[in-house]
Chains A and B, each alone.
Chain A
Amino acid sequence: MKRLLTRQNMIITAALLVVYIIVQVLLSTGIISAFYETNLILGGIGIIMAVSLNLITGFAGQFTLGHAGFMAIGAYFSAVMTVKWGMPFILSLLGGACLAAVMGFLIGLPTLRLKGDYLAIATLGMGEVIRVVLLNTKYVGGAAGLFGIPRITNWTWIFVCSVVTVLCIRNLLWSSYGRACISVREDEVAAEIMGVDITHYKVLAFVVGAFFAGLGGALYSHYYYFIQPGGFGFMKSIEYLVMVVLGGMGSITGSVMAAIVLTVINVFLQQYSAIRMILYALLLIIIMIFRPEGLMGSKEFSTAMFRRFERRDDRGSAGGQ
């Protein structure tokens, strides 16, 4: 208990609460319009998706292009649970996330033997297969999509879920499990020689990532009233991959920032809808050429950073005297 009540944790908790309350007040007074609220929700889902993908791709080093497939499973299963089985929302959320995790296990076990681009292309194929299977399942509406999902997702749900996601993945990574995952990324052979069961940790990262992607999907479907298989294609996976790479592979705070930055850019570009995608593409190319390691690299944004600045200032002033 004492270890939890450090100065840093208290600052972060207080900051989060302040952000939550400010946005909640702005929402209830109507200062944030429906358009911005949608983007707020999308940004939150982006954080969940990007951080969970970063666990797989950035930390465990397993390059996957099928993250939207897990999102689709979460979205569809949770929607089926609420609409067809009449379950409460919280159960649907967990159900969608758990099914995505189970699928992550079933898919991960055979495919994670593959390396690099082969894994990428296999997961791409997996995502497409999931999409086509949904497209051909009459029970969930086929190509027309699944209708009549109640809108339950709101700022509170999004906020709580993204904080829980970031916290869980951060704590996983700061544990011995996380260090094992990172060792797999750094050098598989060396990790194996040191006694790390690489398959175990790869699958672990994949399953946890899939779980949170499923959670993101469940939140998504309960915001939009209806979902279509086409919404979870290859482009969706790319959207989140871009967030991870832009934020920096192996930086959780980087992913969070990139999710927010890209959502804001998206809002800004809405005004120029004709050339929106052209500007987005140019931005991607330019950022990658000038900062290929992403905004944060593998560093984390933390209060310790500020402390370092403080110390540097102290030293600077001390030298001056």
Chain B
Amino acid sequence: MEQFYVFLQQMVNGISLGSIYALIALGYTMVYGIIKLINFAHGDIYMVGAFVGYFAINYLHVGFFGSLFIAMAACVLLGILIERIAYKPLRNATRIAALITAIGVSFLLEYTTVFALGAQSRAFPEVLGNIRFGFFGNKVFITNKELLIYGVTLALMVLLQFIVKKTKTGKAMRAVAFDRDAAMLMGVNIDNTISATFALGSALAGAAGVLVGIYYSAISPLMGMNPGLKAFVAAVLGGIGSIPGAALGGVLMGVIETMVIAYGQSTFRDAVAFAILIIILIIKPSGIFGSNAREKV
């Protein structure tokens, strides 16, 4: 029974980490779905979101939800800006050229932040306090921060699902992702739709940045690299292009990683995540929720 409680506790931790991965993975999957670009800069947008949240709390004294909102707004602007300046001219170039540009943008964001703010990590301000809720006779704990992460993630996902499925912009996004030329012929404004996709994805990344700051209370300019990669892996795991897939993939990724740290060797955590990825790719390359696109000749 003791074992079971430990497992449950790890599950709680894993889902918190996984929720953050899921938020980042959603941005990856949406951008990939619409312009088939692995947006390597996405992890750095998440980093910028964390820093905007940090400055909003420290200098504007806005509290958690205020900083969340400001970070999301700032990331929306950043995302649209990046798309318009760096990716739009390359829309008809080879995909690898666009990928290298994305890597360039990623470096630019990282090292501009290092240059402006220094490479050292900073302590994220404590705005929520620490409340722990015990379960099963205080064997398993959930903190208020974890509950907040679950709540915010869930709310944002529901909102995203609503936007994508019920609004006109969402319909346009799905149309462009399905067939860009046909959508254009039907009068969909491609440029605005792609910008909207970047805006949505970046907003989620910004939210993830603030949440990670709250949860781990440390942020640094290079924090986006690793979670960025893992979130992309999560998106592939769930089936890239699929929104529920990214959510599930992210949570799975977080849980697996936490379990490896808890029951295995923490130095192997990255390897296990990637090994699972390779196995999944070989068995079912389209991911958990991906549809198997048949190749037409």
Contact = CB atoms under 8 A, between A and B. Distances in A.
B186 interface: no
Q: Which of A128, A136, A245, A246: most chain B Cβ within 10 A? A: A128
Q: Which of B96, B233, B265: most chain A Cβ within 10 A? A: B96
Interface string B86-128: 1001100111111011011111101110110000000000000
A91 interface: no
B229 A234 contact: yes
Contacts of A249: 94, 96
B108 A288 contact: no
A205 interface: no
Nearest to B286: A118
Interface in A109-135: 110-111, 113-118, 120-122, 124-126, 128-129, 132-133, 135
A136 B275 contact: no
A125 B278 contact: yes
Contacts of A126: 274, 278
Interface string B271-282: 100110110011
Contacts of A57: 96
A283 B105 CA distance: 10
B297 interface: yes
Interface in A88-121: 110-111, 113-118, 120-121
A118 B281 contact: yes
Given A125-B277, A128-B274, A136-B268, A118 B89 contact: no
- Determine chain A's interface SS by DSSP, over half rule: helix
Given A111-B278, A128-B271, A282 B236 contact: no
A143 B114 CA distance: 25
A134 to B, nearest CB: 10
A289 B267 contact: no
Given A121-B232, A277-B111, A281-B111, A189 B297 contact: yes
Interface in A244-273: 245-246, 249
Interface string B57-99: 0000000000000000000000000000010011001111110
B100 A284 contact: yes
A109 to B, nearest CB: 10
Nearest to A283: B104
B271 A133 contact: yes
- Determine chain B's interface SS by DSSP, over half rule: helix
Contacts of B278: 111, 122, 125-126, 129
A194 interface: no
A132 B110 contact: no
Contacts of B115: 274-275, 278
Interface residues on A, range: 35 or more
A202 to B, nearest CB: 15
Contacts, number: 126
A80 interface: no
Q: Which of A116, A246, A280, A284: most chain B Cβ within 10 A? A: A284
Contact of A292 (B94, B111, B277): B94
Contact of A125 (B95, B106, B274, B285): B274
B270 interface: yes
B38 interface: yes
B277 A285 contact: no
A245 B96 contact: yes
A132 B105 CA distance: 27
A83 B107 CA distance: 36
B220 to A, nearest CB: 15
B86 A289 contact: yes
A284 B240 CA distance: 27
18 contacts: A110-B282, A114-B281, A117-B32, A122-B281, A125-B274, A125-B275, A132-B270, A189-B297, A249-B96, A275-B115, A277-B107, A281-B106, A283-B104, A284-B101, A288-B98, A288-B104, A293-B93, A293-B94
Given A136-B267, A136-B268, 17 more contacts: A113-B282, A117-B95, A117-B240, A121-B236, A125-B275, A128-B229, A128-B270, A128-B274, A132-B271, A143-B267, A245-B100, A277-B110, A281-B108, A285-B86, A285-B104, A285-B108, A293-B97
Smallest CB-CB A-B distances: 9 pairs: A284-B104, A125-B274, A132-B271, A292-B93, A281-B107, A292-B97, A277-B111, A281-B108, A285-B104
